[in-house]
């Protein structure tokens, strides 16, 4: 069960994404997967390279579209554990429509966002997660927009699993990804993953000083949606740990009717040549 491959990541030394890669590899091994039982689908951005750095099925998709691909993959082969991954620009700007609808659909995949609050691949522009006043090449006088709170959005969209972690806390990050993989529904995990090259504000030290870990609140009840929203707002979205989980809701693929329990890839679909031609003609 070795999820490492021999491809050397070309992330900058110290980039938070290294820990996310390691955590996915460890979590997959810990839940007992074999490499052929895991698929990692990513979008565009520095973080999007992650699908090539894990010994599993991997697909480096197009910008903001990791989730449609990952959902289709899960429906086609439900035996796969599917992880979608990308950055905050990928998931919360161009891909935000997909993010919200995948969350409310509750399809059984795990979505990991490497949130560094800047666009790294294009050399440092303001992202939807950048704070007001944040200065970059695209906002030299400071951003006049307020930062998006993905945790609030996820909760409002009906998420059944919301967690947040930090690249420096590999133990917690691995455990949360494991829980996400085991969750019967859509699991959303936002990870503070510092961009050491372009974001000189939200550094490892900054996160260490500002994060509020739920370990400090032992009586916190992750099944309480109101408490989850309160905690997110109280901490200005800097809370880490398992923030919310609803185990009662069925996943999309368990609810959809008219489908056989096995994925399309596993079904023996009998179709004549004429029927196939007719089907293809409908899409021309």
Closest approach, Cβ 214 to ligand SF4, in A, equals: 26
Closest approach, Cβ 20 to ligand SF4, in A, equals: 11
HEC assignment per residue over the chain: CCCECCCCCCCCCCCCHHHHHHHHHHHHHHCCCCHHHEEEEECCCHHHHHHHCECCEEEECCCCCHHHHHHHHHHHCCCCEEEEEEEHHHHHHHCHHHHHHHHHHCCCCEEEEEECCCECCCCCECCCCCCCCCCCCCCCCCCCCCCCCHHHHHHHCCCCEEEEEECCCHHHHHHHHHHHHHCCCCEEEEEECCCCCCCCCCCHHHHHHHCEEHHHCCCCCCCCHHHHHHHHHHCCCCEEEEEEECCCCCCHHHHCCCCCCCCHHHCCCCCCHHHHHHHHHHCC
Closest approach, Cβ 199 to ligand SF4, in A, equals: 7
Q: Which is nearer to ligand SF4, 15 or 54 (CB)?
A: 15
- Rounded-to-integer distance, Cα 126 and Cα 199, Å: 10
Closest approach, Cβ 13 to ligand SF4, in A, equals: 8
Q: Which is nearer to ligand SF4, 58 or 120 (CB)?
A: 120
Which residues contribute to the site for ligand SF4 (CB under 6 A)? 11-12, 15, 17, 46, 116, 120-121, 195-198
Is residue 62 within 8 A of residue 91, CB to CB? The reply is no
Is residue 163 within 8 A of residue 188, CB to CB? The reply is yes
Closest approach, Cβ 168 to ligand SF4, in A, equals: 14
Closest approach, Cβ 89 to ligand SF4, in A, equals: 10
Is residue 235 within 8 A of residue 213, CB to CB? The reply is no
Q: Which is nearer to ligand SF4, 48 or 58 (CB)?
A: 48
Q: Which is nearer to ligand SF4, 125 or 149 (CB)?
A: 125
Q: Which is nearer to ligand SF4, 124 or 158 (CB)?
A: 124
Q: Which is nearer to ligand SF4, 73 or 118 (CB)?
A: 118
Q: What angle do CA 102, 40, 87 make, to 5 degrees?
A: 65
Closest approach, Cβ 196 to ligand SF4, in A, equals: 5
Q: Which is nearer to ligand SF4, 58 or 68 (CB)?
A: 58
Q: Which is nearer to ligand SF4, 93 or 121 (CB)?
A: 121
């Amino acid at each position: 069960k070795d999820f490492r491959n021999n491809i050397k990541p070309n992330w900058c030394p110290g980039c938070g994404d290294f820990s996310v890669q390691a955590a996915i590899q460890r979590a997959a091994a810990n839940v007992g997967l074999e490499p052929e039982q895991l698929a990692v689908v990513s979008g565009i951005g520095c973080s999007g390279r992650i699908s090539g750095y894990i010994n599993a099925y991997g697909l480096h998709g197009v910008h903001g579209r990791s989730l449609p691909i990952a959902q289709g993959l899960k429906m086609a082969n439900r035996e796969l554990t599917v992880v979608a991954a990308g950055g905050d620009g990928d998931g919360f700007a161009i891909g935000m429509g997909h993010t919200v609808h995948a969350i409310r659909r509750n399809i059984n995949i795990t979505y990991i966002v490497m949130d560094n609050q800047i666009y790294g691949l294009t050399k440092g522009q303001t992202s939807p997660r950048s704070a007001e006043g944040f200065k970059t090449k695209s906002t030299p006088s400071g951003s006049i927009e307020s930062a998006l709170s993905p945790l609030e959005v996820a909760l409002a969209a009906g998420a059944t699993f919301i967690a947040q972690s930090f690249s420096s806390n590999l133990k917690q990050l691995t455990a949360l990804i494991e829980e996400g993989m085991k969750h019967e529904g859509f699991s959303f995990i936002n990870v503070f993953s510092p961009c050491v090259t372009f974001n000189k504000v939200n550094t490892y030290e900054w996160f260490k000083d500002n994060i509020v870990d739920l370990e400090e609140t032992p009586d916190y009840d992750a099944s309480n949606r109101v408490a989850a929203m309160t905690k997110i707002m109280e901490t200005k979205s800097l809370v880490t740990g398992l923030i919310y989980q609803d185990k009662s809701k069925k996943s999309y693929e368990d609810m959809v009717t008219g489908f056989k329990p096995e994925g399309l890839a596993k079904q023996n679909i009998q179709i004549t040549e004429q029927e196939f031609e007719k089907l293809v003609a409908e899409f021309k």
